[in-house]
Amino acid sequence: MREYTVRFEDLRFNLTELYEAMGYGDTTPDPMTIAESVSVIREVRGWAHPAFSFFIAEGELDNEKETLTIKETNFQIGKIISRQLRGSEAYAFFTATVGQAFEEYQERLKKEGDMVKIYIADALGSILAEKTADLMEETLEKELIQKKWKHTNRFSPGYCGWHVSEQQKFFSIFPVFQPCGIRLTASSLMLPIKSVSGIIGLGTDVKKMEYTCGLCTFEQCFRRKKRKH
């Protein structure tokens, strides 16, 4: 298993992405919100400690049963994901997180009762978690060059018909306990909350596609929200 820490500066996001995540779409927030956003970003630099990990394993995909079996662990991934993983020769399991300190920063804002900063920080945390996962994907791509493999999109428990309760099985097959310091609650919520986990299909005959939001019924998906703008 590979585990990496990430510098805040390497996450490569911009204010436009933050405003979109906050619900502004293509419009520009008022000057006060812009100033507060810049202030939160400046503060978060000292609180965000991004990290990601991944390992690669062979598995058996059953498109009829819509399952993926890894290390004798069976995942009910559903129709959408099983179709997207067709042709995979192996699978990358990954985690990515903004870190525990960022969650402590959010708790501090809640105690201070600054609702504007709380909202900005929540949106920013989601972006940073996905940007950390993007860096994981870039690192994975470099490892695939020698095999001349490509990869699929990344898919997470709780999305595209894969029930979030399968996080428990997902984390159980990692070579280390609490990869990147991420732990699960009894209800399968990841802590720190601003964390991402999932699988990616690997092989010579797979490809990364546009996320087919029209096939998915999860209205709260961050990718669906982005496509609405």
Number of C-beta neighbours around residue 39 at 10 A:
13
| pLDDT value at residue 209 | 84
**In which element (H, E) is residue 91 found?**
strand 90-97
SS3 for 104? helix
The three state secondary structure string of 192-205 is: CCCEEEEEEEEECC
| pLDDT value at residue 71 | 86
pLDDT of 164 strictly over 80 = yes
pLDDT of 27 strictly over 60 = yes
pLDDT of 227 strictly over 50 = no
Q: Is the dihedral of CA 70, 73, 74, 78 positive or negative?
A: negative
SS3 for 13? coil
The model's confidence at residue 212, banded by pLDDT at 50, 70 and 90, is low
pLDDT of 229 strictly over 50 = no
**Average pLDDT rounded to a whole number, residues 145-151:** 95
pTM of the model as a whole: 0.90
The pLDDT tens digits of the residues spanning 62-81 come to: 999 999 999 899 999 999 99
